[in-house]
Structure 1
Amino acid sequence: MHPKYLFLGAAVLFAQAFPSAAQLTAQPLVSGPTTQQQIPSTGVALTLEEAVAKALAANAGLRATALDVAIAEGARSQAGLFRNPEVSFVREGTQRGTRTQTVQLSQVLELGGKRSARINLAERERSLAVGNLSVARTDLRAEVTAAYFDALSAQERVQIAQVSLDVASKASFAAERRVAAGRVSPVEQDRSAVALSTARLELSQAQSELSIALLTLAAYWGETVAVSRPLVAPGLDLAPVPSLNELQQRLDSSPQMRRARLQVEREEAQVGVDRSQRIPDVTLIVGSKKDDQIGRSQTVLGVSVPLPLFNRNQGSLQASLSRAEKARTELEAERLRLNQSLASAYQRTQLYREQVRTMRDDVLPRAQRVFDAAVTGFEAGKFSFLDVLDAQRTLLQIRTQYIQTQFDRYRAAADLGRFLDADSTPNNRIAP
């Protein structure tokens, strides 16, 4: 049997896995042992949008952050309540004829705007809780996107490893036949056996990485078993992203910057609370005193005012002023950090965009031409079977790199999405 038929069969298998990589149509005349690929294949494909929606709806960490908003709302309701009045009863003496009894009602009147300061602080804390929730949603969306493409990349690597293993299996089977027929040296059989073992190891590693990636992805919406549905890559958009200057201008409306500003407002509200504590409260007292000895009742009126001689809340006020200054400093530091992170993510996005374009338009076609030339040369007797396998292996490796670069592009776009207000301006998200 001519060896070119065997190789043409292997090439067909490669073409079926990657239609854009080869257009050979010959059918294999001899087949060897193959293995079945271990990738999710049940049910409808899980899209990126569905994965993000499932995580936003069921992620335990996000639910916990959302509960902070409910906690802050309860604190806001409590902050607006007035102080409760107090009722006291005092009896002086134990003998019926000489004792006196006093019943009085006291009410604390808060001065210095304490109640309004508490309400303002509680409202700022609620706004800060909402800001934390917005940041958590943005981070979760980016993390799920990265995990989705990690799993999708692992799924593609399994498919490529499966193709490589099938080709190596056919090559090993052909080598055994040729050695048995005495056409080639047994060394060729050993080489093909080494290639087959290596392909099996690569497939096993790829399957293990896929299982881990699918389990990691499912954990984002609270499942303890790996995703069983296949993943599908969205369409690749190589259109230029907005300029870096435009993204930097939109940075002030990012969830991270809003949260930093809300933290400043919260600390300034705490300053107002501590400043209001310098003014002492007044306690009004009204009651009735009955003297059993003379059988007469008297009205009791009084006012109680603390004397701020030692404690004027000066320590707490100084601490809150320092915390407010710290929050303003952290706001500037956060702005610098976000600008640096944004520039880094932007450069990565541009780099991967150009890499994808170059590999798609130049590297892959060249590798395909080398592979085709190796097949033609093999048919003409100019190249050995190992030369063709080497060209095919190179094409597979480039295909793997191309897929990885595509997903790096998606992840970089997801990182850019961290700095945009995806909740209020969904149309301004960076397209991958």
Structure 2
Amino acid sequence: MRRLLVPLAWAAIVSLPTSLAAQGLTLEAAVQTALRQNPTLRAFGHELEASDGAIRQAGLIPNPSLSLTAEDTRKDTRTTSMTLSQTIELGGKRSARVELARRERDLAALDLATQRADVRATTIQAFFDVLIAQERVEVARESLEIAGSGASAVSRRVMAGKVSPVEETRAKVAESTARIELRQSQADLRGALQALVAVMGAEPDTIARVDGSADAMPALSAAAVLNERLERSPALQRARMDVQRAEAAFQLERSRGVPDVTVGIGAQRAPDVGRTQPLISVSIPIPLFDRNQGAQFQALRKREAAQALAQAEEQRLRAEVLQAVDQLEARADEVDALRRDVLPGARTAYEAARRGFELGKFGFLDVLDAQRTWLQARGQYFSALSQAHRLSADIDRRLGSPDERGDAAPVPTSAARP
């Protein structure tokens, strides 16, 4: 029995990805897969782990040195000395090195957080690109069916002598145009799927379709939540951490201005003395000319430059987020207007023109014009949705992943201001 169950269980496990792929990829699964398998994100993770070695290295004390000297080459008159020396660092050099290495590690952690936000936002954007591309394919397929049925209806009326053969030519041109648009939309869908697979770090051709609602508009958070996200955004935190790193570098250069002491202890044996003599040595550089003043001045100015750059980064980030929020509001208004007024009106006009043509009240040119208006409205609707999701992903890319509290408190778009 066990020999039978084990192969069956293994077959079920192997077939699991295929069944999931057939069901369609969800947004949550796409994001989690990208955060786990994206190669660039893995590289940043290795860089963060490598910084632990830098901290460990910065905390090590200098190695002692062993010296052996011999005066004269003749055995009877040769004096032999052996000394063990150890450099003692003064001025807090070791602690300053460790502090600088820790700030470097903090920067690497923020670089990883920034890259995670970028991968997450890019995955969400690519997911909705695929979702909207799927809808465009369905619209193009429906348009082809409508054009085909219209061409058939015109052909029957031409054969009956009710309309001019020119109408049949127009209908065939419209059908060919719809077929070309279907092929283009299918190519766009394949390209969107490839982009999604690439950012997820998955194997090619492993995703056939995605599941979700293309009509879902990204919600905007309240102004207070946006301000909070701005303060803890990875880009702004990194700019501020760069100031702390510059401060740590300045403190290290200051500590290097304090000379170190080298202490040595050893023994010397001379034939004329007839015994081993102890040796004790202490050496310290005299900071007469080089007090590391140039490096200190350089580190000080770099700290001031980092402070100015942090301030500029905050202003730039706030301005870009505000601009993206304004554009997202405009897209939300456009989607709402298209969904509420334009699409229903264009659909009603097309249906009326089609029925009128079947009853002989309208020409086929009127049907084509109404159909073109309806399809253009649907294309504009999907374009506005795509731009809205791109803007939302761009905001998340700049501010980092929103927390649960930020997602749980969406407000009308007119109130969303950082």
Q: Shift of the alpha carbon at 1:238?
A: 5.8
Partner of 1:38: none
Q: Separation in 1 of the partners of 2:339 and 2:156?
A: 38
| Aligned counterpart, 1:428 | 406
CA distance, structure 1, for counterparts of residue 168 and residue 300 of structure 2: 80
What pairs with 1:296-335 in structure 2 (closer than 5 Å)? 296-335=275-314
Q: How many angstroms apart in 2 are the aligned matches of 1:77 and 1:320?
A: 23
Task: Report the residue type matching 1:207 in the other structure.
Answer: Q
Whole-Å separation in 2 of the counterparts to 1:190 and 1:385: 11
Q: Any residues of structure 2 matched to 1:312-391 within 5 Å, and which?
A: 312-391=291-370
The letter of the residue matching 1:47 is T
Match of 2:25 among 24, 46, 49: 46
1:146 partnered with 2:156: no
Shift of 1:267: 0.8
5+ unaligned residues in a row in structure 1: which ranges? Answer: 1-40
Alignment pair present for 1:289 and 2:268: yes
2:164 equivalent in structure 1: 185
Contact 2:106 2:241 in 1 (8 A): yes
Once the two structures are superposed, what CA deviation does each residue of 1:13-36 show, in whole Å capped at 9, x if it has no partner?
A: xxxxxxxxxxxxxxxxxxxxxxxx
- Contact in 1 for aligned 2:250/2:299 (Cα 8 Å): yes
Partner of 2:106: 127
Residue 247 of structure 2 corresponds to residue 252 of structure 1: no
Q: Secondary structure at the match of 1:134?
A: helix
Task: Point out the more displaced range, 172-181 or 400-409.
Answer: 172-181
Is the 1:80–1:115 Cα contact (8 Å) retained in structure 2?
A: yes
In structure 2, C-alpha distance between the alignment counterparts of 1:66 and 1:172, rounded to whole Å: 59
The range that moved more, 193-202 or 381-390, is 381-390
User: TM-score if structure 2 supplies the norm length?
Assistant: 0.87
- TM superposition score normalised by structure 1: 0.84
Task: Give the equivalent residue in structure 2 for 1:173.
Answer: 152
CA-CA distance at 1:246 after TM superposition: 4.8
What residue identity is the alignment partner of 1:219?
Answer: A
Q: Deviations over 1:139-159 (max 9, x none)?
A: 111111112222222221111
CA contact (8 A) 1:422 1:429 kept: no
Name the structure where helix makes up a greater proportion of residues: 2
Deviates more, 1:222-231 or 1:98-107: 222-231
In the alignment, the residues of structure 2 paired with residue 110 and residue 303 of structure 1 have an alpha-carbon distance, to the nearest angstrom, of 13
Is the CA contact (8 Å cut-off) linking 1:176 and 1:189 kept in structure 2? yes
1:348 is displaced (CA, Å) by 1.6
Q: Which residue type is aligned with residue 370 of structure 1?
A: A
Over the aligned positions, Cα root-mean-square deviation in angstroms equals 2.3
Change (3 A) 1:191 1:234: closer
Q: Is the 8 A contact 1:120 1:269 kept in 2?
A: yes
Q: Residue 128 of structure 1 aligns to which amino acid in structure 2?
A: L
Distance in 2 between residues matched to 1:93 and 1:58, nearest whole Å = 68
User: Could you tell me whether the CA contact under 8 Å between 1:215 and 1:224 is conserved in 2?
Assistant: no
Query: Conserved in 1, the CA contact under 8 Å of 2:123 and 2:200?
Result: no
**Secondary structure of residue in 2 paired with 1:107:** strand
The more displaced of 381-390 and 238-247 is 238-247
1:277 has 2:256 as partner: yes
Asked whether 1:207 is paired with 2:186, we answer: yes
Measured after TM superposition, the shift of residue 316 of structure 1 is 1.5
What is the match of residue 31 of structure 1? none
Quick one: structure 1 residues 237 and 151, their matched pair in 2 at CA, closer, same or farther if it must change by over 3 Å?
closer
1:420 deviates by 3.7
Q: Partner letter of residue 83 of structure 1?
A: P
- Preserved contact between residue 217 and residue 227 of structure 1 (Cα < 8 Å): no
- Does the residue aligned with 1:303 lie in a helix, a strand or coil? strand
